[in-house]
Amino acid sequence: MSKSHKNVSNKATGAQVAVSESTRPSGEKSRKVGGSTRAASTVSRLVGAGAAAAFLSGGAFAAEVCATGGDGKDAVSFGGGATVAVVSGCANNAYLPAGHDIAELEAGGSVVYADDTTNTVNFRAGSDGQIVSINSDGVIQNVGAGAVNSTSKDAVNGSELYANAASTAAALGGGAKVAADGTISAPTYSVDGKTVNNVGDAISNLDGRVAKNTTDIEKNTTEIEKNTADIADLNNTVVKYDSLEHDRVTLGGSANAQAVKLSNLQDGELSATSTDAVTGAQLSSTNQNLADLTQSVKSAMSVSTAGLPAPTSSGTNAVAFGGGAQASGDNSVAIGAGSVADQANTFSVGSQGNERRIVNVANGTQGTDAVNVNQLNEAKTQAKNYTDKIAKNAYAGVAAAMAMPNMTPSGPGKTVVAAGGGTYKGASAGAVGVTYRSQTGHWLANGAVSVTSTGDAGARAQVGYEF
């Protein structure tokens, strides 16, 4: 900074006035003491009413005024030729010699404190000048933070400007930063896949898309309104579940509504486990098959109930067929009007007192097959022939026994040979026998052989002891 200045100070109070080097106390003697110019006499004046003016002490006593050169605390850059004056280091109020006033200091570009209790500095508040100028390399330092509001006229310092720039950079975002010189780097925004480096381009991009979105929203709103109307119409025609459990659907909307026809159904699966709906075509086919079966049954048999009650089958797995037929036994079958099968595992074609014949029964071939009368008669004949043969042989046996002789010898050592014949119920037999008595007369031995009319033969042997 330029150091072309002087300090005018009051050593008693410490107040100073910075004056330009061209300022001189005219008509008064000066002397230099330690680089200072001392002057006597006093003037008292406030400079610039209503502004920060220099306060000069007055009175009938002498005051020292000093002007020192150099930089110091609270440096301020101002004055003619954009010089720097340092206000510091002197005591008491500033004085000028008698016969001189403060205007001479002001004319020389000096600045003074308003009084001895404040740090306020006036820049020629009473003049018409509105410009404070320093040289191109000058710096005003130690400037306090000025008020920042809509009515403030305070000077602001560098830190306030930096904070303002930092706030602006933060508001801009996009990587904007404050450089050491206080400038803000351009932000970088990615908007709709494009990179822009200023707010204007970003807003323009957004504005174009917002305009398009507005148009799209208006279109969507129109379509939504139409969809809402369509949905309202659908609610009147759509088929819905009767409950949130999805276990029941009532066509027509309510149980009392008119019956509804379902059309264009696919054929459902026909099986023991199927839960599919069947079509009219499938049902028609079933009906036709049933009709054909019914016709076949009618063609194969004729059923006349003659006013009898319907058949009943109360037994488990029982079958009753015919008017008034009853099958109450488990696994029983009652066939024919009035037939009763009241025992388990029976087949009835009538009832007690109303028996029926089963005719045209084929010959049974297996052990559990029914037999017909022919088979029964044949069995009877076979049985008769068998018994007749047994009887004939038995009768012949009786005849053979009757024919065997049993004659006793007349004395010891004698032998009798005899022949005999016999008949019994048409059977006959012939026999020959021999009897011997021992020499002692006590033992007898007899043997005989017979032949029957059936061709069978028999023999007999006997031993006896007489005493």
Cα distances (angstroms) measured from residue 460 to each of 415, 442, 445, 449: 17, 21, 11, 6
Q: Please determine, for residue 209, whether its predicted confidence score (pLDDT) is greater than 60.
A: yes
Q: Tell me if 339 sits within 8 A of 322, measured CB to CB.
A: yes
Q: Each residue of 63-85: pLDDT tens digit?
A: 333 444 444 343 333 333 433 33
* Of 19-33, 109-123, 208-222, 407-421, highest mean pLDDT: 407-421
- The answer as to whether 251 is a domain residue is no
Classify residue 49: in a domain, yes or no: yes
Average pLDDT over residues 184-208: 80
Element (H, E) at 391: helix 373-403
Q: Are 97 and 40 in contact (CB under 8 A)?
A: yes
Each residue's pLDDT tens digit, 261-288: 888 989 999 999 999 989 999 999 999 9
Q: Which residues on adjacent β-strands are paired with residue 458?
A: 450
Give me the amino acid identity at 336: G
Residue at a domain's end among 142, 167, 187: 142
pTM of the model: 0.34
pLDDT on residue 107: 55
Instruction: Name beta bridge partners: 278.
Output: none
Sign of the alpha-carbon torsion through 301, 307, 308, 310: positive
Q: How many domains does the chain fold into?
A: 2
What pLDDT is stored for residue 182 in this prediction?
81
Containing 202, the helix (H) or strand (E) segment is: helix 199-235
Q: Is residue 383 included in any domain, yes or no? A: no
Per-residue confidence (pLDDT) for residue 118, from 0 to 100: 54
The dihedral formed by the CA atoms of 157, 162, 165 and 169, expressed in degrees to the nearest 10: -170
3-state DSSP assignment of residue 82: helix
What gap in Å lies between CA 288 and CA 269, rounded to an integer?
A: 18
Q: Compute the distance between CA of residue 14 and CA of residue 7 in angstroms, rounded to an integer.
A: 11
Confidence of residue 120 (pLDDT cuts 50, 70, 90): low
pLDDT of 237 reads 73
Establish if 236 belongs to a structural domain: no
User: Mean pLDDT for the chain?
Assistant: 75
Residues facing residue 428 across a β-bridge: 423
Separation between Cα atoms, residue 48 and residue 376, nearest integer Å:
162
- Tokens representing residue 155 in the block: 């000077």
Average pLDDT over residues 110-131: 54
Tell me: pLDDT of 58 over 50: no
> 395 vs 118, which has greater pLDDT?
395
pLDDT of residue 101: 54
Question: Residue 72 to residues 1, 9, 78: CA-CA distances in angstroms?
Answer: 12, 14, 15
156 belongs to a structural domain: no
CATH at residue 417: 3.30.1300.30
The pLDDT of residue 250 is 83
Confidence at residue 349, expressed as pLDDT on a 0 to 100 scale: 94
Inside any domain, residue 209 = no
Residue 129 banded pLDDT, cuts 50, 70, 90: low
| Assigned domain for 14 exists | yes
Average pLDDT over residues 79-97: 40
What's the pLDDT tens digit per position in 316-333? Answer: 999 998 889 999 999 999
Tokens of 366: 């297996």
Q: How confident is the model at residue 359 (pLDDT cuts 50, 70, 90)?
A: very high
Residue 426 lies in a domain: yes
- What range defines the domain where residue 421 resides? 399-465
Task: Tell me which of 104, 124, 142 is where a domain ends.
Answer: 142
